[in-house]
Structure 1
Amino acid sequence: MSIPQPELLHLDSDETSGYPNSPLPVLIYREVLDLSSAEERADAFENMFKQHGWPPAWRYYLYDFDHFHSTAHEALGIFQGQARARLGGPNGREVMLYTGDVLVLPAGVGHASLEADDDFCMVGAYPPGQDPEIERGDPAEFAKAQARVASVNVPDTAPVGEPLKPLWEPSA
């Protein structure tokens, strides 16, 4: 399977709203999987993520409120439907997510669903030892959240199988 080159989305921190985001870019891989059924895609995403060191953790939709994880990077494999999402917190940027796409969020990056198909669903995964806490942006806690984000280790491999560190150099 040939993995497409990801779109790189750089997001600035937003101290006013309390969203640290990350100097590392969000990775958006388009059309990674093109299988006939949602169940096949979900299983394939889970197998792919697990094979590359990102154990799958859940199947669910994207929350409709802005939130981030300062203690974990997150991989999202869209196996059904599509959604208009916001990345970067309340003042972030909108992106469309489609069936077959993979989104890799560095720790600290805000994300929320703005609008989604009724059947929109994803597989979520995190690198081993990284446990996500749901945080909603608190300007009074911004510096602490930013420090936690900076301490999260970058795995060697992206959940789709390519080396991650070259893509996640802060100046990439």
Structure 2
Amino acid sequence: MNIINVTPIFLSPDQKIPNNPELPLLLYWQVFSESNKLEHEFKEAFRRNNWAGTWTNGVFNYHHYHSIAHEVLGVAAGTATLILGGPQGHELTITAGDMVVLPAGTGHCKKTASSDFVVVGAYPQGQVEYDICTESDYVAEKQKNIARVPLPATDPVAGATGPLLKHWQKKG
């Protein structure tokens, strides 16, 4: 694992995408060196740090969010531009080795991607059941769910002392 360089981004609510009112999205730049083993490296780190329900695929090309779970996306191959926070949100280009941790409620959508783009996703222990919410969902009801999602006990790649624990602290 490389030295962890993390950028927190707070996203404002969009009319139809709630985002998270307390927790920033976390961008981890080049967590692992680009190699042909990134899928394995992300899966192993997530497993070791109690992030479960791993899957390997891409990112949906429509705006969506999860109201009952946080999510991590480790880029195993390729590159993509994501729109984060809803249709008027923040565009971000991610490449193999990068990782994005999305707090519950954070809108995400693939705008463009290379043909070889692959991510490994996972959820904190106890949150492997998730929902897929879209702009047509009733936001007020989903906000109640988001407020009840517990903080993860560990960072997905750095464990009990990782940067997520510093950046994610619920108020009150």
Give the TM-score of the pair, scaled to structure 1. 0.91
Higher strand share: 2
Does structure 1 residue 136 correspond to structure 2 residue 134?
yes
Q: Tell me which residue corresponds to 1:96.
A: 93
Q: 2:6 touches 2:163 (CA, 8 Å); kept in 1? A: no
Q: Matches of 2:157 and 2:94 in 1, distance apart?
A: 16
Does structure 1 residue 119 correspond to structure 2 residue 116?
yes
Q: Tell me which residue corresponds to 1:77.
A: 74
Structure 2: which amino acid aligns with 1:19? Answer: I
Q: Matches of 1:163 and 1:85 in 2, distance apart?
A: 22
Does structure 1 residue 27 correspond to structure 2 residue 21?
no
Q: Matches of 1:74 and 1:53 in 2, distance apart?
A: 13
Cα shift at 1:46? 0.1
Q: 2:26 touches 2:164 (CA, 8 Å); kept in 1? A: no
- SS of the equivalent of 1:47 reads helix
Q: 1:19 touches 1:138 (CA, 8 Å); kept in 2? A: no
- CA deviations 1:31-90 (Å, max 9, x no partner) are 1111421xx110110000111110252100111100000010000000100001000011
Q: Tell me which residue corresponds to 1:156.
A: 153
Q: Tell me which residue corresponds to 1:168.
A: 168
Give runs of aligned pairs for residues 62-73 of structure 1, distance below 5 A. 62-73=59-70
Give the TM-score of the pair, scaled to structure 2. 0.91
Q: Matches of 1:24 and 1:78 in 2, distance apart?
A: 22
Runs of 4+ in 1 over 6 A off after TM superposition: none
Cα shift at 1:163? 5.2
Q: 1:156 touches 1:164 (CA, 8 Å); kept in 2? A: no
Structure 2: which amino acid aligns with 1:7? Answer: T
Alignment root-mean-square deviation, CA: 1.5
Q: 1:50 touches 1:56 (CA, 8 Å); kept in 2? A: no
Q: Matches of 1:92 and 1:136 in 2, distance apart?
A: 15
Identify the match of residue 57 of structure 1 among 50, 54, 58: 54
Structure 2: which amino acid aligns with 1:125? Answer: A
- SS of the equivalent of 2:24 reads strand
**Count, aligned residues:** 166
- SS of the equivalent of 2:165 reads coil
Identity of paired residues, percent?
38
Structure 2: which amino acid aligns with 1:135? Answer: C
Question: Relative to structure 1, is the Cα distance of residues 44 and 116 closer, same or farther in structure 2, using a 3 angstrom cutoff?
Answer: same
Cα shift at 1:169? 2.7
Cα shift at 1:128? 2.0
